[in-house]
């Protein structure tokens, strides 16, 4: 039970990060391998706001989200759009975007290493006991989870109940047809990429309240997010949330029952199972 609750609490932040990536890959068709760096940047900014200005990470989201939105929009507009335009086919764009986002990954990581060094950081925020089903959990984890749920719900409402959100989903489903019904595909893609970055940064800010972080841990989170996205099915919101839950619980279970050093092995086992049996994702349907 304790494992289950800890796992679920962890999965809230995972879900946000994965939702960010699934928007970027599903709508903008860019496999953003620098996603984890956006997350780490979110961690550091939240830390900086809290340590220097005593701004609570929750209010910090109001600064972090728009900043990350703007930064990711700029990255898409100036670094990635040229690749989209020059690619002759999907395969070429895939290779180019992978290499370009690798470049961003190292560049951002290098800049953060320069500014913050390689040490681990953490800060104390709401480190109180919170009793749930007879066991105690960190209040910060519970608050982070609640905030993640609120953000994910807002995203869901936006995507499924607004005009703009429907346009985003249309581009995810089929860019050519979306173009035919007068949706500005290029703008929607840029918007989705930026929104994805904002979600990921929020995930990072929330993560920093209960997790020790350092400048070079981004890649591990990119991995996890990618696996969640693939498990859930690319561009699938419900799938990503469910996959995040599964991953969070599986990781917590392996860490507490077998060995904390084997979390990646747990992630990979899930990944292999998905690749072998449902490469199109949990809810995915084989395309014609």
Would you tell me which residues interact with another protein (CB under 8 A)? Answer: 31, 33, 79, 82-83, 91, 94-96, 98-100, 102-111, 113-114, 216, 219-220, 222-223, 226-227, 230, 259, 261-265, 267-268, 271-272, 275-276, 279, 285, 288
3-state SS class at 132: strand
C-alpha distance from residue 78 to each of 3, 37, 173 (Å): 44, 18, 25
Q: Length of the chain in residues, anyone?
A: 288
- C-alpha 259/C-alpha 20 separation (Å) is 29
Nearer to another protein, 5 or 234 (CB): 234
Secondary structure, 3-state, 221-234:
HHHHHHHHHHHHCC
Task: Residue 123: count other Cβ atoms within 10 Å of its Cβ.
Answer: 14
Nearer to another protein, 189 or 228 (CB): 228
* Minimum distance of another protein from residue 156's CB (angstroms): 24
Nearer to another protein, 124 or 176 (CB): 176
* Minimum distance of another protein from residue 236's CB (angstroms): 16
* Minimum distance of another protein from residue 206's CB (angstroms): 23
Evaluate whether 154 touches 20 at the Cβ level (below 8 Å).
Answer: no
Closest of 90, 73, 72, 61 to residue 207, by C-alpha: 61
Question: How buried is residue 209: exposed, middle or buried, by Cβ count under 10 Å (0-12/13-18/19+)?
Answer: buried
DSSP state of 121: B
- C-alpha 128/C-alpha 100 separation (Å) is 42
How wide is the angle at C-alpha 281 spanned by C-alphas 275 and 284, nearest 5°?
A: 140
Cα 246 to the center of its chain, rounded Å: 15
* Minimum distance of another protein from residue 131's CB (angstroms): 33
Q: How far apart are the first and last CA of the chain?
A: 42
C-alpha distance from residue 219 to each of 36, 61, 91, 106, 254 (Å): 6, 22, 23, 10, 20
The DSSP element (H or E) to which 137 belongs, if any, is strand 135-138
Nearer to another protein, 56 or 216 (CB): 216
* Minimum distance of another protein from residue 53's CB (angstroms): 27
* Minimum distance of another protein from residue 63's CB (angstroms): 26
Nearer to another protein, 31 or 49 (CB): 31
* Minimum distance of another protein from residue 244's CB (angstroms): 16
Nearer to another protein, 66 or 103 (CB): 103
* Minimum distance of another protein from residue 67's CB (angstroms): 21
Nearer to another protein, 144 or 225 (CB): 225
Nearer to another protein, 56 or 280 (CB): 280
């Amino acid at each position: 039970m304790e494992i289950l609750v800890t796992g679920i609490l962890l999965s809230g932040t995972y879900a946000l990060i994965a939702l960010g990536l699934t928007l970027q890959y599903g709508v903008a068709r860019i496999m953003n391998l620098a996603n984890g760096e956006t997350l780490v940047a979110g961690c550091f900014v939240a830390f900086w706001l809290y340590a220097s200005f005593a701004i609570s990470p929750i209010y910090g989201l109001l600064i972090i989200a728009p900043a990350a939105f703007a930064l990711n929009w700029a990255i898409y507009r100036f670094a990635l759009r040229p690749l989209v335009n020059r690619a002759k086919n999907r395969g070429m764009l895939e290779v180019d975007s992978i290499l370009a986002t690798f470049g961003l990954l190292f560049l951002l990581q290098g800049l953060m290493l320069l500014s913050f060094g390689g040490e681990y950081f953490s800060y104390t925020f709401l480190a109180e006991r919170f009793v749930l089903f007879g066991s105690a959990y960190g209040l910060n984890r519970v608050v982070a989870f609640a905030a993640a749920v609120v953000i994910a719900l807002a995203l869901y409402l936006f995507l499924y109940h607004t005009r703009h959100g429907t346009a985003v989903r249309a581009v995810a489903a089929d860019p050519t047809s979306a173009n035919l019904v007068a949706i500005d595909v290029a703008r929607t893609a840029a918007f989705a990429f930026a929104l994805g970055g904002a979600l990921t940064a929020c995930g990072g800010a929330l993560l920093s309240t209960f997790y020790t972080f350092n400048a070079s841990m981004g890649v591990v989170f990119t991995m996890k997010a990618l696996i969640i996205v693939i498990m859930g099915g690319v561009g699938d919101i419900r799938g990503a949330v469910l996959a995040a839950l599964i991953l969070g619980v599986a990781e917590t279970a392996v860490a507490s029952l077998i060995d904390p050093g084997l979390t990646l092995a747990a992630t990979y086992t899930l990944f292999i199972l998905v690749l072998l049996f449902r490469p199109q994702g949990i809810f995915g349907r084989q395309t014609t």
